Structure 1
Amino acid sequence: MADALNIIPPAVLRGLADKLYEKRKNSALELEGIVKQLAVAGEREKIRAVINLLTTEFTYSPQANHRKGGLIGLAAVTVGLAREAPQHLEQIVPPVLNSFLDQDGRVRYYACEALYNIAKVVRGEFIVFFNKIFDALCKLSADSDANVQSAAHLLDALVKDIVTEGDQFSIEEFIPLLRERMNVLNPFVRQFLVGWITVLDSVPEIDMLGFLPDFLDGLFNMLSDSSHEIRQQADSALSEFLAEIKNNPNVDFGRMAEILVQRASSPDEFTRLTSIAWINEFVRIGGDQLVPYYADILGAILPLISDKEEKIRVLARETNEELRAIHADPAGGFNIEAMLSIARSQLTSEREGTKIEALHWIGVLLARHRQEVIYYLNAIFDSLLKALSDPSDEVVLLVLEVHASIARDASHFRQLVVFLVHNFRSNHSLLEKRGALIVRRLCVLLDAEHVS
C-alpha cells in the first residue's frame, strides 16, 4: 500500500473519497492517466499495488463515499490499462461484484456503472466471470431501488452483447445456475431469466435446445404468472423452442415428456393447454424414444379429454387418437401393464368422456396384445366388473364389449357370469335398471346360448 500512496497523489485519493460525484469523477480521470503511464512502462507490480489500495482502502471501507470512489477508481484503472486490463481482472472484478451486495443503493448503482465500464474495455475476456455476474444481475433485476434496476438493465444489455458476439461463453457451466434460478417467483427476475434464455437461444453456436429439459419446467411454471407480460414472454419462448424441436427432433423427448405430463394436470388452464399442445407434437415426432413414456402420456391425456376448456378437449382427443394409432411393440419398451393400469385408474373418473376413452384403450390393447392383457387381467377385472354399475349407459355398453372380448376364454366367461348372478341377487337396483340391458347386449356380443 505504501508504494501506491507514493504513486497516487494525496489530492487524487482525497478526491476519490469526496461526497461530490464530480470530484470523484475528476480524480478518477487523473488516476486513469497515472495507470496508463504505468502500463506503458510495464510497471505491473505498481499497478497491482494501486488496485490493492483501491480495494482495501476504498471499496471495503465503512464509508459509503470511499466505496463509491473505489468503484469509479477501479473502472478508471481498467480504462487506463486498456489492452493490459485482462491480466488484472482477477484483482479488479471481485470487489466490484461484492459491491452489488452493498446496503447503500447508490453504491450498488455505482457498482453497475463500474462493471459496465470495465466490461466495455475487456469485452470477451470478462466472460470468465459470467456466472458470478449473471447471479448478481439476477438479484439486481429485482432491486428495491429503481435507479439500481435501471443501471443493472444497461449492464445486462452490454453483457448480452458480449456473450453473443464471442465464442468464450460456456453453456455447460451456465445451465446449472439457470436451472437453480428458474423457479424464482419474483416477476423482475422471471423477465430477466426469459430474456437471457431467448438471447442465448438466438446464438447459433449455443445449443440451448440440447439443455431445454433443464429449464423447461421453469418456463411452464411462468405460464401461470399473474403478470400478462411474463406469461406472454414465457409462451413466446416455448413456442420458439417447440418450432425448433419440429425442425430438429434430435432432443431428449423422455425427460421433457415427464415434465409435460406433470404440467398437464396444472390448475392453470393456459398451462394445461400448452402442455397438451406439446404432448400432441411429441406423440407425432417423438418416435421410439417416447415409447417407454406412453403410459404416462396416456395418464395426462385421458383427464384432459373431459377438460372444461374446449380447446384442451379437442387437442386431447386428437392426441389420444394419434397415440392409439401407433402400433407399439412391447419389445421396444411399450409397457402394456402400465397402459392398462392407467386405463383402469380412469374408470372411476367422474367424467364420462374420460371413462369411455379408457375403455376404448382396454379394448384396443385386448385386440392387439391379447395374451399380455389376459396375463394382467386380475389387476383390472374387478374394476371392469364394478364399471357395469356406472350411471352412463354408453359406459356400460363399452364395458360389456370389453367383457365379451375377455369372455372368449371359458374361465373368464364363467367368472363374468358368476359375478353378474351374484350382483343381480344382492343389488336389485342393478337388476332392475341394467339387468335386461346387460343380458341382451352380452347375447349379441357372445353366443346367446352361452349367456342364457
Structure 2
Amino acid sequence: MTDALSLIPASVLRNLADKLYEKRKNAALEIEGIVKQLAVAREHEKISALINLLTTEFAYSPQANHRKGGLIGFAAATVGLSAEAAQHLKQIVPPVLNSFADQDSKVRYYACEALYNIAKVVRGDFIIFFNKIFDALCKLSADSDPNVQSAAHLLDRLIKDIVTDSDQFSIEEFIPLLRERMNVLNPYVRQFLVGWITVLDSVPEIDMLGFLPDFLDGLFNMLSDSSHEIRQQADSALSEFLQEIKNSPVRLLSMDYLSAFLCVSNVDYGRMAEILVQRAGSPDEFTRLTSITWINEFVRLGGEQLVPCYADILGAILPCISDKEEKIRVVARETNEELRAIRADPADGFNIHAILSIARRDLTSEWETTRIEALHWIATLLAQHRTEVISYLNHTYDSLLSALSDSSDEVVLLVLDVHACIAKDAEYFCRLVELLVYNFKIDRALLERQYKSLVHWRRGAMIVRRLCVLLDAERVYREFSLILEGESDLDFSSVMVQALNLILLASSELAGLRILLKYSLVTSLGMDLFVSLYSSWCHSPMATISLCLLAQAYNHASSVIQSLGEEDIDGKFLVQLDKLIRLLETPIFAYLRLQLLEPGKHTWLLKTLYGLLLLLPQMPFSFAVSDVIVLVWSKALGTQNIQGARCSLERSETLPNIII
C-alpha cells in the first residue's frame, strides 16, 4: 500500500474521490499516464499494487464518490496498460462487476462506463469473465434507473460484438447460465435474453441448435408474455430455429437408425418433444399453435428418434384435434395422420401399452372428435400389432365397453368396429356378447321402446344391428340366444328377446338371417338355427309366434296361440300383440299375406291369424287393426267387402265365435 501511495501523488488521489466528475476524470488521466510509464518499464508489481490501492481504498469504500473514482481509475489503468492489460484483468474486473450491484444508481452507471472502456481495450481477453458479465448485465437490463439501463445496453452491444468476433467463447460454459435465467419473468430481462440467443445463433461457429432443448421451454414461455414485443421476438427466434431444423441437409427418414442419429446428433428431437408436449396444453392459444406446429415438423423429420415419445406426442395431439381454434385443429389432424402412418416396432422402443393408455384416457374426452380419433388409434394398433394389443386388453376393455353408452352414434359405431376386430378370437367374441347382455340388463332403456327412452332404444338396436354386420348375424344371434337361455332373470330375458326379435324382423341388415329362417323347415342349416333361437325366444310368447311365422311353422304357431288361453293376458302382452299385428303388414311378411290367397293350402296360417284375432281385447279397439286381421274377419263374415269388414270390426264390442 505504501509503494502504491508513492506512485500516485496525493493531489491525484484527492481529485479521484472528488464529488465533481471533471476532477475525477482529470485524476484518471494522471493515473493512465503513470500506469503507461510503469508498463513500458515492465514494472508490473507496482501496477498490481496501484490496482490494489484502487480496489481497497476506492472501489470498496463506503463513500460513493470514492467508489466512482475507483471505477474510473480502473478504466484509466486498463487504457494505460493497453496490450499488457490482460495479465491484470483478474484484479481489475471483479471490483467493477461488484459495483453493478451498488445501491447508488450513479455508481452502477459508472461501473457500466468503466467496464465498457475496459472491454474496448482488452476485447477477446475479456471472454474469461463472460458469464459473470452476462449475469450482471442481465440484472442491469431491468434496472430501475433509465440511465443505468441505457449504459447497460451500450455495454451489452459491445460485449456482443466482442463475443461474435472471438474464438475463445465457450457455449458449453454459457448454456447452464442461460438455462437458469430463462425462467425470469421480468420483460426487460426477457428481451435481453432473446437478444443474446438471436445473436449467438447468428454466429456460424456456435452450435446453438445443439443446445436448443436447454432454453426452448423458456422461449415458449415468452410466447404468452403480456408484451407484444416480447411475444414477437420469441416467435421470431423460434421460427428461425425451426427453419434451421427443417433446412438440415440430413433427413432421418432416409437412413438407418444408428447412422442417422450420429449425423443429426445436434438435433435432439426427443428432449425437445418433451417440452413441446407440455406446451401443447398451454391455455395460451398462440403457444398451443406454435408447439403443435413444431410437433408436426418433428413428426415429419424426427422419425425413429421420436419413437419413445410417440405416446406423449399423441397425448398432446388428440386434445388439439378438438381445439376451438381452427388453425390448431388443422395442424393437429395433419400431425395425427402423419404419426399414424409411421410403422414402428416395439423393438425400437415403440410403447404400445403407453399409446393404448393415452387412447383409453381420451375415450372419456368431452370432445367427440378426440374420442373418435382415440378409437381410430386403437383400431390401427389392432391392425398392426394385434398380439401385443390383445395382451394389454384387460386394461382397455372396460373403457371400450363404457364407450358404447357414448352420446355420439359415430363413436358407438367405431367402438363396435374395434370390438368386432377384437372378437375375431372366439374367447373375446363370447365375452363381448356376454358384456353386451349385461350392459342391456343394467340399462333396460336400451331395449324397451318407450317415448322417453326412444333414443336409448335406437342406440340398443343400432348396437345389435352393427354387430350383426361386423361379426355375422347368425353367429351373433346364436350367442345371444345361448346366453339368454340360461338367464335367471326371466323378466329381463323376455324384454331382451322381444327387442332382438323386433330387430330381426325389421332390420335390413338381418335380411339374410330371415331368409335362412324362412326355409328352416326344408334345410338342415335353417332348422338348426330355428331350434337355437327357439330355446330363448320361448321367454316371450309374441317373439315365439313371430319366429314361427317367419319360419312358416304355422302349425306350431297355432299351438302356441292356443296355449296362451291358459295365461293371464295383461297390458304388456297386448302391447306385444299390437306390435306383431303391425309387423304383419310390413314387406317382411308379404309372402305370408300372399299365402292367404290360397286358404285351402295354408289352413294352419288361417287358424294362426284367427287365433291372433281372438286374442284381441273384447271391447272397442284401442289398437290399430291390421289388414291381415281384417281379411280374416271378412272371411268369418262371408263377405269380400274388406272396407265393410274393417268398419264392422271397429264397431264391434264382441267377436263372433269362429270355428274352422
Note the 1:259-274 alignment, pairs <5 A. 259-274=275-290
**1:32 to 2:32 alignment:** yes
Partner in structure 2 of residue 203 of structure 1 = 203
Alpha-carbon distance in 2 for matches of 1:122, 1:128: 11
Q: Letter of the aligned partner of 2:140 in structure 1?
A: L
Q: Which runs of 5+ in 1 are unaligned?
A: none
Larger RCO, structure (CA 8 Å, separation 6 or more): 1
Partner in structure 2 of residue 4 of structure 1 = 4
Helix, strand or coil for the counterpart of 1:266? coil
Q: CA deviation at 1:411?
A: 1.0
Q: CA deviation at 1:429?
A: 2.4
Alpha-carbon distance in 2 for matches of 1:384, 1:207: 48
**1:418 to 2:443 alignment:** no
Alpha-carbon distance in 1 for matches of 2:464, 2:279: 43
Partner in structure 2 of residue 138 of structure 1 = 138
Helix, strand or coil for the counterpart of 1:100? helix
Alpha-carbon distance in 1 for matches of 2:24, 2:91: 21
**1:391 to 2:407 alignment:** yes
Q: CA deviation at 1:299?
A: 0.4
Q: Letter of the aligned partner of 2:119 in structure 1?
A: A
Deviations 1:118-151 (A, max 9, x none): 0000000000000000000000000111100000
Partner in structure 2 of residue 318 of structure 1 = 334
Aligned length: 452
Q: CA deviation at 1:230?
A: 0.5
Residues 446 and 461, structure 2, Cα contact 8 Å, conserved in 1: no
Q: CA deviation at 1:246?
A: 1.1
Residues 78 and 118, structure 1, Cα contact 8 Å, conserved in 2: yes
Alpha-carbon distance in 2 for matches of 1:15, 1:36: 20
Q: How high is the sequence identity, in percent, across the aligned residues?
A: 82
Alpha-carbon distance in 2 for matches of 1:430, 1:355: 22
Residues 389 and 430, structure 1, Cα contact 8 Å, conserved in 2: no
Q: Letter of the aligned partner of 2:462 in structure 1?
A: L
Alpha-carbon distance in 1 for matches of 2:439, 2:115: 79
Note the 1:38-437 alignment, pairs <5 A. 38-248=38-248, 250=264, 251-431=267-447, 432-437=457-462
Q: Letter of the aligned partner of 2:122 in structure 1?
A: V
Alpha-carbon distance in 2 for matches of 1:184, 1:262: 19
Instruction: Tell me which stretches of 4 or more aligned residues in structure 1 moved more than 3 Å.
Output: none
Alpha-carbon distance in 2 for matches of 1:55, 1:422: 87
Q: Letter of the aligned partner of 1:65 in structure 2?
A: N
Q: Letter of the aligned partner of 2:289 in structure 1?
A: L
Alpha-carbon distance in 1 for matches of 2:442, 2:335: 41
Q: CA deviation at 1:105?
A: 0.1
- Structure with the greater alpha carbon radius of gyration: 2
Q: Letter of the aligned partner of 2:304 in structure 1?
A: D
Alpha-carbon distance in 2 for matches of 1:254, 1:445: 40
Bigger drift between 192-201 and 429-438 goes to 429-438
Deviations 1:80-126 (A, max 9, x none): 00011001000000000000010000000000000000000000000
Q: Letter of the aligned partner of 2:461 in structure 1?
A: A
Residues 17 and 24, structure 2, Cα contact 8 Å, conserved in 1: yes
Partner in structure 1 of residue 541 of structure 2 = none
Alpha-carbon distance in 2 for matches of 1:119, 1:391: 70
Deviations 1:324-345 (A, max 9, x none): 1111111111111111111111
Q: Letter of the aligned partner of 2:232 in structure 1?
A: Q
Alpha-carbon distance in 2 for matches of 1:430, 1:293: 41
Q: CA deviation at 1:187?
A: 0.3
Q: Letter of the aligned partner of 1:340 in structure 2?
A: L
Alpha-carbon distance in 2 for matches of 1:44, 1:373: 77
Residue from 472, 476, 481 that aligns with 1:447:
472
Alpha-carbon distance in 2 for matches of 1:426, 1:258: 43
Tell me the TM-score normalized by structure 1.
Answer: 0.99
Helix, strand or coil for the counterpart of 2:399? helix
Bigger drift between 272-281 and 335-344 goes to 335-344
Alpha-carbon distance in 2 for matches of 1:288, 1:314: 24
Residues 289 and 328, structure 2, Cα contact 8 Å, conserved in 1: yes
CA root-mean-square deviation: 0.7
Bigger drift between 323-332 and 70-79 goes to 323-332
